[in-house]
Chain A
Amino acid sequence: MKQYLLSIYQPDGDPPPPEILEPIMRDINAVNAEMRGAGAWVFTGGLYPPEVATVLRADGADVLVTDGPFAEGKEHIGGFWVIRAPDLDAALGWARKATTACKLPVEVRPMVDMAEG
């Protein structure tokens, strides 16, 4: 069974007001429950905004530490799922539910199976 990373691309800035956010969170929780029930759920995470990110970069023996996200942009990953699916069509099926629930674009990326070497 392959694993896929489903990332939510979220515009930078303040989150929407509670009357919009609450039904969205309810829908996302429903998708999570459905994934768990189907045995597809591996992991979910929501992220704090990109301003609080820190980037580290090895430079010879030193490590350079800088404030802010790695990539500048108007959108950043706001949350993600790791799911288990037999093929891309099954993963796209979950991503369809995910983007419908969170009302934001969702990117699907296959994960390399580390056991394959």
Chain B
Amino acid sequence: MPGPAPAPTPADVERVFREEYGRAVAVLTRVFGDIDTAEDAVQDAFAEAARRWPSAGLPASPAGWIITTARNRAIDRLRREAARDAKQAQAALLRAENEPIEEGPVHDDRLRLIFTCCHPALGPAARIALTLRLLGGLTTAEIARAFLVPEPTMAQRLVRAKAKIRDAGIPYRVPAEADLPARLSGVLAVAYLIFNEGYTASSGEALARPDLCAEATRLGRLLARLMPDEPEVLGLLALMLLTESRRAARTSPDGALVLLADHAIRADLLRRLGRPAEADAAYEAAIARAGNEAERAYLTRARARLRAP
């Protein structure tokens, strides 16, 4: 018989937060029809998890536990507000009674939330901030730091964007088939902009911000899982993964930029393109720059294969 599961550490709670925050906010936004209510409730639920899980152990379905706890918390809060005759709270309660917390068979709630966050009626900076906040679970401070704006500026941007979603009636749904190509390209643009900011930071000391690249790639994987038939999604994910695979080689140990022209990979690519003379020269240059004997030997062998008839 298996023994009791080991008590979860704060890192375990953190991991569940990263993986499940977006889904929980997405489900509760559908249930209550309001993003702020959903965010507050999910944060309450994670605070409760951080208190209880270390002694009670990880529940069988951490995501299910978070969503149920958040729903109950939100209902408690709305009941208190509704008792004070708050019309919005009453409407949200009425809605929640009829909305199941299980997701529909066709669309993951996160997909709807992505399309809401990346709606063309929102400014580009707001789309990026909302996506990182609601789907990635990044704090306002983290997003502000990533884009090097003061935290109050970022907080204001998020508040305005959420107010526009609510007041202008930006819908919470996957667009109709006819609008999907244009709207999807807007979503992919947000993922790509996040990745790009991570790939070459527009300001700051370091060349790259791996956390933003990781967040964009996670978003790309999620989109690919939710929309497996969209070639544009797979194309963007492939581009991000290919670019990401070179990340460690883009900087020298002291953080200085290493250009593609200085990579041995350039020689390999030229060889594959069938441009042997240029590939030969590139191998030559790479051999001259190689820091260790093993690398020199490898490059010399590659060049020899190129020269062989």
List residues of chain A with CB under 8 Å of any chain B CB.
2, 85-89, 91-92, 108, 110, 116-117
Contacts and interface: CB of A to CB of B under 8 A. Distances in A.
Nearest to A110: B168
A89 B171 contact: yes
B171 A117 contact: no
A92 B121 contact: yes
Main secondary structure of the interface of B (DSSP, over half): loop
Contacts of A88: 119, 121, 168-171
Nearest to B85: A117
A2 B121 contact: no
Interface string B97-121: 0000000000000000000000101
Contacts of B167: 110
B169 A91 contact: yes
B175 interface: yes
Nearest to B121: A88
B87 interface: yes
Contacts, number: 25
A116 B85 CA distance: 12
Contact of A110 (B87, B119, B169): B169
A6 B168 CA distance: 13
Contact-residue bracket for chain B: 10 to 19
Contacts of B171: 86-89
25 contacts: A2-B169, A85-B169, A86-B169, A86-B171, A87-B169, A87-B170, A87-B171, A88-B119, A88-B121, A88-B168, A88-B169, A88-B170, A88-B171, A89-B170, A89-B171, A89-B175, A89-B179, A91-B169, A92-B121, A108-B168, A110-B167, A110-B168, A110-B169, A116-B87, A117-B87
Interface centre among A86, A89, A110, A116 (most CB of B within 10 A): A89
Contacts of A117: 87
Contacts of A2: 169
Nearest to B88: A116
A116 B68 CA distance: 30
Contacts of B170: 87-89
A52 to B, nearest CB: 32
> Which among A2, A87, A116 has the greatest number of chain B C-beta atoms within 10 A?
A87
The 7 lowest CB-CB distance pairs between A and B, nearest first, are: A87-B171, A87-B169, A88-B169, A110-B168, A88-B168, A88-B170, A2-B169
